[in-house]
């Protein structure tokens, strides 16, 4: 028994015909059936990370970031499907996904001489999610809509260097932080059966988050400064293609 997967055992016990003994004789119950699945998906994602933008009053200069997005995405999930009737079923799943990386590189404008410091930031997004919803099923395909939550990890690595007064002496600062947040999530998709237990899948996923960004204004004439920072976890959109195995 230890070698039998738990999901397979549940499906086997639940999907078989169940006979009830009573005064009316045996009655067969086929209204409820459970099955399970494993899925592997890959695709492309994008986020709402907006970078940073610092202005320098008095010399009309600006230091801002240029975003470079590596949107490769991979997701592994497992779930259970409960049949309601001939065409509708309930579906739940849990999964873990990697949702790409965004790198912020510094750019300057309106400056006659280079700034004495530069700022490089890299954000990496990943997390676990849980979804539940309803599916329309057909012998050849199914279409579903699910809602749930994503526990997103936004890992940020900051590298800054500073060269005072143009001297070759360089001070380097490096720091890594992780911001975790629970974000509402929606997923819509479809699967097409190619073999008795195998299906190809396509889906779109959206996690509702924020648009992380930083901005500031430095007055080089008066020494006054203002600063704004939004470090909340970013929204995610992802388009995924994959393969699903039903147990």
SS3 55: strand
Which of 152-156, 167-171, 214-218 comes out lowest in average pLDDT?
167-171
The pair phi, psi for residue 165, each rounded to 5°, is 55, 25
All residues at 6 or more sequence positions from 76 whose CB lies less than 8 Å from its CB, including other chains: 38, 39, 40, 41, 95, 96, 97
Q: How far apart are CA 142 and CA 39, in angstroms?
A: 15
Phi-psi region of 221 (alpha: psi -120 to 50; beta: other; left: phi over 0): alpha
Q: Identify the pLDDT of residue 116.
A: 61
User: Which two tokens mark 99?
Assistant: 């949702």
What pLDDT does 170 receive? 66
The span from the CA of 79 to the CA of 74, in Å, is 17
pTM of the entire predicted model: 0.81
Task: Tell me which of 27-36, 91-100, 177-186 is least confident.
Answer: 27-36
**92-101, 108-117, 137-146, 226-235: least confidently modelled range:** 108-117
Residue with tokens 């490769």: 72
State the pLDDT at residue 166: 57
Return the pLDDT at 125: 98
Q: Among the listed ranges 86-95, 117-126, 214-223, which one has the minimum average pLDDT value?
A: 214-223
- pLDDT tens for each residue of 70-114: 999 999 999 999 999 889 999 999 999 999 999 999 888 876 556
**Average pLDDT score over the chain:** 84
Domain over 33-246 is classified CATH 3.30.450.70: no
Given a cut of 90, whether residue 3 has pLDDT beyond it is no
To the nearest whole percent, how much of the chain has pLDDT over 70?
Answer: 81
**CB 159 within 8 Å of CB 176:** no
Domain ranges of the chain: 33-246
Positive or negative, the Cα torsion across 133, 138, 142, 143? negative
Of the ranges 1-15, 99-113, 161-175, which is most confident?
A: 99-113
pLDDT grade, residue 245 (50/70/90)? very high
164: confidence class by pLDDT, cuts 50, 70, 90: low
Give yes or no for residue 187 having a pLDDT over 60: yes
pLDDT the model gives residue 2: 43
Question: In 3-state terms, what secondary structure has residue 168?
Answer: coil
Ramachandran area for residue 50 (φ above 0: left; ψ -120 to 50: alpha; else beta): alpha
Residue 2 DSSP one-character state: T
Q: Is the pLDDT assigned to residue 38 strictly greater than 70?
A: yes
Q: Which of 43-47, 51-55, 179-183 has the lowest mean pLDDT?
A: 51-55
């Amino acid at each position: 028994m230890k070698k039998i997967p738990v999901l397979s055992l549940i499906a086997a016990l639940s999907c078989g015909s169940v006979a009830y003994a009573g005064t009316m004789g045996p009655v067969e119950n086929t209204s409820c059936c459970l099955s399970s699945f494993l899925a592997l998906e890959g695709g492309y994602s994008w986020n709402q990370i907006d970078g940073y933008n610092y202005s320098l009053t008095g010399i009309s200069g600006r230091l801002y970031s240029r975003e470079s997005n590596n949107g490769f995405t991979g997701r592994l999930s497992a779930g259970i499907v409960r049949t309601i009737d001939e065409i509708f079923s309930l579906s739940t799943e849990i999964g873990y996904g990697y949702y790409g990386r965004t790198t912020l590189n510094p750019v300057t404008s309106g400056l006659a001489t280079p700034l004495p410091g530069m700022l490089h930031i890299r954000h990496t997004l990943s997390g676990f999610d849980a979804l539940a919803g309803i599916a329309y099923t057909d012998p050849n395909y199914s279409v579903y809509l699910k809602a749930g939550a994503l526990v997103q990890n936004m890992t940020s690595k900051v590298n800054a260097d500073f060269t005072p007064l143009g001297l070759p002496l360089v001070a380097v600062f490096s720091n890594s932080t992780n911001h975790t947040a629970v974000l509402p999530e929606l997923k819509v998709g479809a699967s097409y059966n190619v073999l008795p237990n195998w299906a190809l899948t396509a889906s779109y996923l959206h996690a509702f988050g924020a648009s992380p960004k930083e901005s500031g204004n430095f007055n080089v004439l008066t020494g006054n400064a203002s600063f704004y920072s939004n470090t909340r976890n970013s929204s995610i959109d992802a388009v995924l293609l994959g393969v699903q195995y039903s147990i």
